[in-house]
A = this chain, B = another copy of it.
Amino acid sequence: MILDGRPIAQKLESNIAREALEFQKNYGIKASLHIIVIGNDDVANLYAETTLNKLKALNMDGGIHRFPESTSEKDVTDFIKKLSSKKEVHGIIVNAPVPKNFDLRAILSSIYSEKDVDGQNPYNLGMLMLGAEEHAPATPKSIVRILEEYKVQLSGKKVCIINRSPVVGKPLAMLLLNRDATVNICHTKTEDLPSLSRSSDIVVVAVGKPMFLKEHMVAENSVVIDVGINKYNGKIVGDADFENLVKKVSMITPVPGGVGSLQTVMIIEQTLKNAQKLMQR
């Protein structure tokens, strides 16, 4: 079975469109997400445009704030702090990648925790470790949403996460522990990864290498979540050898159309939730 993320995204979007319209009627303003882009990376720019268009289609609003590579990091963090303090701003994200002379972590940390809709601020990550999911990062949230929508049992199940970053692996571990899964965090230094992934009920792979997760690395009837997005022979593919795995496992996410189809809408949903909460104060 293919775990298609697109119908989940569509359902979320139609809920958001309805609730955002109601928000606008109630408060006379639109819920708004602000996107920071530093330098002129094509992917960061394209993603910002796509997100803004989606926001507008869903009765929300937003802005793209572009900074040239020559800007100082302090100018960016000062701008973000000022933006964070504005009542009409309900969410802020910084599009990766940023130029090498910028510290992405420092920039992310300058977003006020209550407007940090991708959950990358240290305070929000710490709250996540304490069990609070209110500001969890979008990618792990997307993964859990897919698993839950397709009613994959998590309690007691063995999950092998092949990624240890604070964007995917570590926060995902926290979300899965909250759902009573047993979580094995693996990475480049893991010895004998194939036997660990093969003895797991669910494998989440996010390594940025096409065809990395092969047939011998997964069990029959297991569930595979592919977080990779790679260019390979002119196509966009994930980290899994999809064609062969789909015949062996019980469920697998496609790339594109899996986790990636949910990430932006999760950020937009979080922005709307923030807006509702901030206005109810």
Measured CB to CB, the residues of A under 8 A from B are 105, 121-131, 155-158, 164, 166, 170-171, 173-174, 177, 180, 182-187, 189-191, 196
The distance in angstroms between the C-alpha atoms of A196 and B121, with both chains bound, is: 34
A185: contacting residue among B156, B183, B189, CB under 8 A = B183
A130: contacting residue among B125, B173, B177, B189, CB under 8 A = B125
When C-beta atoms are compared, the residue in chain B nearest to A131 turns out to be B166
Given contacts A170-B177, A182-B184, A182-B196, contact A189 B156 (CB under 8 A): yes
The distance in angstroms between the C-alpha atoms of A128 and B123, with both chains bound, is: 11
When C-beta atoms are compared, the residue in chain B nearest to A105 turns out to be B130
Residues of B within 8 A of A196 (CB): 158, 182
Could you name 14 residue pairs across A and B whose Cβ atoms are closer than 8 Å?
A: A122-B129, A123-B123, A125-B126, A125-B130, A128-B129, A129-B171, A156-B189, A156-B191, A170-B177, A173-B173, A182-B189, A182-B190, A183-B184, A183-B185
Task: Give me the 6 closest cross-chain CB pairs, A-B, nearest first.
Answer: A122-B126, A126-B126, A125-B126, A180-B189, A184-B184, A156-B191
Please state if A191 and B182 are interface contacts (CB–CB under 8 Å): yes
Please state if B182 and A187 are interface contacts (CB–CB under 8 Å): yes
A177: contacting residue among B131, B180, B185, CB under 8 A = B185
CB proximity of A191 to chain B, nearest CB, Å: 4
CB proximity of A244 to chain B, nearest CB, Å: 25
Contacts A125-B129, A126-B129 known; 20 new A-B pairs at CB < 8 A: A122-B123, A122-B127, A122-B130, A123-B126, A125-B126, A125-B130, A126-B127, A128-B129, A130-B166, A156-B189, A156-B191, A164-B177, A173-B185, A177-B185, A177-B187, A182-B184, A182-B185, A182-B187, A183-B184, A183-B185
Please state if A187 and B180 are interface contacts (CB–CB under 8 Å): yes
Please state if B180 and A170 are interface contacts (CB–CB under 8 Å): no
Given contacts A180-B189, A182-B187, A187-B177, contact A126 B121 (CB under 8 A): yes
Residues of B within 8 A of A125 (CB): 125-126, 129-130
CB proximity of A101 to chain B, nearest CB, Å: 20
